[in-house]
């Protein structure tokens, strides 16, 4: 065997080791960040996660999500928004990154390019400005859904701001949000990311020993209607999505609160 052949074999061996190690690190990263099945996050304290229709629940530092591979986005994103989380910090806006924790493969941000839709955050970056890591984590592709700009910058932004207002006023709220991934939906990009026709946000407050809930269901389009006109019962959102939002609550309390579409107790 001549020297050239030996050097070639050594080079191939080194490259194999490098790629093998990178594969190992990638797999370990996924194992560390992915939890499949129903679970609770330590940060949620007494609050519990919704059920998952897909069984693919992922926990990041600042939020949890249930990924729907068929629609290439989260069916829900859930997190606690404490008063202490609210911050005026300013961080440089990072590039969107594919969420490596999605074992089925999260959709790429490239699907949104020239689609006419915004990369709409489900957990807003403004809700996670208490650290740079928490802020930057909201730019994972598992946390976005296609949104018309006038919707994203309009009524949806109004609801996000109102949620922060309630978090400050009530010393924290728990948030579950997502698009309604049911029925025939148009898609964008090579990976066929679904475009929801409606988006929802469900809030629960349990800081003063008296639980209250409020749910919003908003058509995915520009609107000038006031926010309170989109208040619905949690039951209505559950019927549309197939998700049980607060399964760990006492059944009597859950049934009563989820059937109500009243916004009494939530100052607008």
Q: Are 28 and 68 within one domain?
A: no
- 197 CB-contact burial (10 Å; exposed 0-12 / middle 13-18 / buried 19+): middle
Q: Are residues 24 and 46 in the same domain?
A: no
Distance CA 209, CA 256 (A): 16
pTM: 0.84
pLDDT above 90 for 32:
no
Whether pLDDT at 249 is above 90: no
- Shared domain check, 145 and 67: yes
CB 55 within 8 A of CB 39: no
Residues 45 and 17 in one domain: no
In a domain, 266, yes or no: no
Task: Please report which confidence band the pLDDT of residue 37 belongs to, taking 50, 70 and 90 as the band edges.
Answer: very low
- Other CB atoms within 10 Å distance of the CB of residue 75: 23
Matching residue, tokens 């493969």? 105
* Same domain membership, residue 90 and residue 8: no
Q: Which domain holds residue 172?
A: 34-259
Across 30-39, 156-165, 242-251, 255-264, least confident range: 30-39
- 252-268 mean pLDDT: 84
Beta strands in 97-227 (DSSP E): 118-121, 144-147, 173-179, 187-188, 193-194, 198-205, 212-219
Structural domains of the chain, count: 2
> At CA 95, angle to CA 99 and CA 200, rounded to 5?
60
Q: Has residue 268 been placed in a domain? A: no
Does 26 score more than 70 pLDDT? Answer: no
Query: Could you tell me if 25 and 47 lie in one domain?
Result: no
Task: Report, as an integer, the average pLDDT of 21-45.
Answer: 46
Q: Is the domain of 88 the same as that of 187? A: yes
| Angle in degrees, 0-180, between the axes of helices 234-241 and 251-259, rounded to the nearest 10 | 90
Whether residue 248 sits in one domain with residue 188: yes
pLDDT surpassing 50 at residue 237: yes
239/37 Cα distance (integer angstroms): 21
């Amino acid at each position: 065997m001549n020297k050239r052949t030996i050097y070639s074999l050594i080079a191939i061996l080194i490259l194999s080791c490098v790629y093998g190690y990178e594969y190992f690190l990638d797999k370990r990263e996924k194992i560390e960040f992915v939890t499949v099945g129903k679970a609770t996050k330590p940060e949620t304290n007494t609050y519990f996660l919704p059920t998952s229709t897909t069984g693919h629940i992922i926990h990041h530092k600042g939020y949890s999500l249930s990924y729907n591979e068929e629609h290439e986005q989260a069916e829900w994103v859930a997190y606690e928004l404490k008063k202490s989380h609210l911050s005026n910090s300013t961080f440089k806006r990072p590039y969107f990154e594919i969420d490596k924790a999605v074992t089925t493969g999260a959709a790429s941000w490239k699907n949104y390019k020239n689609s006419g839709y915004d990369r709409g955050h489900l957990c807003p970056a403004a809700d996670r400005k208490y650290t740079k890591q928490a802020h930057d984590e909201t730019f994972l592709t598992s946390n976005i859904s296609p949104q018309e700009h006038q919707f994203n910058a309009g009524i949806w932004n109004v609801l996000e701001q109102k949620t922060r207002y309630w978090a400050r006023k009530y010393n924290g709220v728990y948030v579950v949000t997502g698009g309604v991934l049911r029925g025939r939906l148009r898609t964008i990009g090579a990976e066929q990311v679904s475009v929801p026709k409606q988006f929802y946000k469900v809030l629960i407050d349990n800081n003063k020993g008296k639980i209250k809930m409020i749910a919003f269901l908003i058509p995915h389009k520009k609107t000038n209607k006031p926010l309170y006109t989109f208040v619905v019962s949690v039951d209505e959102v559950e019927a549309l999505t197939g998700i049980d939002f607060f399964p760990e609550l006492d059944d009597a309390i859950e049934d009563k609160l989820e059937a109500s579409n009243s916004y009494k107790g939530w100052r607008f």
